[in-house]
Amino acid sequence: TCRPYLTHAIEGCIQGAQRGGVGLVSYFRKEGRALGEVTKFLVYNARKRQVGGDTAEQYLNRTECVAGVQDMRFQELMPDVLNWLGIRKIHRLVSMSNMKYDAITRAGIEVVQRVNIPDHMIPADAQVEMDAKMAAGYFTPGAVPDAEELKKAKGRGLDV
């Protein structure tokens, strides 16, 4: 879901600039939750091959089985570039990451509004990831999927 979030953020920056404001995209590339490209693809393949297929219910567990952890991102240094640019307030933060939000606010930067991406921008096979992250406590302004809903979301199958 990184690409749709990035696309939505860029669109928001353009719209803000068109209204006479300023937009800034600060993108910190941390492929596969900072586990790297190879591990990301190992996890993708393991999710497709697991009994029951790729489900939101097992999304984060499968990553932990393959990599030993669910997430390796260390966001504490991420706000440094924002501080370096003199940013003291973010009017619209386009991110569902609580770690990112917490790092920004701990660095003394005010976040006025957290913004999620519209449903139509979420690819169909990414709903597994979205549901798993919302159930794990990531930011969502809507309803959090329950255990039954997590079983329903299915990702891509194994192409043989």
Is 73 designated active site?
yes
Q: Which pairs from 24-31 meet CB under 8 Å and 24+ separation?
A: 24/85, 24/87, 26/81, 26/82, 28/78, 30/72, 30/73
Given 71, 80, 119, 131, the catalytic residue = 71
Task: Report the alpha-carbon distance of residue 49 to residue 55 in Å, rounded.
Answer: 11
Given 73, 131, 146, 159, the catalytic residue = 73
Which secondary-structure segment (H or E) carries 90?
A: strand 89-94
- Per the structure block, which two tokens stand in for 53? 């297929």
Whether 95 and 5 have beta carbons less than 8 Å apart is answered as yes
Computed from CA positions of residues 85, 140, 1, 74, in that sequence, does the dihedral angle turn out positive or negative?
positive
Is 71 designated active site?
yes
Which secondary-structure segment (H or E) carries 12?
A: helix 2-18
**Residues designated as active site:** 71, 73
